[in-house]
Structure 1
């Protein structure tokens, strides 16, 4: 079983879904910073939907890289905002991966 997105891609498997969700969130944040408006419509057009995906995330990360990405995002959100609705789901996803890996 591949343990990295590169291995997964090389073997024709999809990348860890949490990585794709985090990438969508980062892309949405970048789009928001470039958006001419600073209102609810701009949020909905940019980072709002990917943020909600991460805030309601319930799956463990599927790879070590996914767990690391989740931890990095949780740390970033804490450092930037002091709190965020997506911090705990990201911590849970990383921890679930690590606990599962420890059992194997």
Structure 2
């Protein structure tokens, strides 16, 4: 089974596909080159609701984006989507991996 996440939708659309296949599991991302973000969400996520100077700078950025055509009818900002590929968590035996190098090996 897999989850299909369509990042072209706002909010992203998440669907379960092949729900009867229990032999594998994955997440499939349908990428987008941009997405829309509400300025209020940025303020909230940044923890800056009471920071007047920060909010003024965000308002200036939003006004610039509006002049450039980078906002939608709801006032959301168009943001580029960048994909970062990070290595998976190491797979191994936790107890063995916690020992110092050479520990537990025969000499």
Same fold, judged at TM 0.5 (above): no
Q: TM-score, normalised by structure 2?
A: 0.25
Q: TM-score, normalised by structure 1?
A: 0.25
More strand by share: 2
Higher relative contact order (CA 8 A, sep 6+): 1
More helix by share: 1
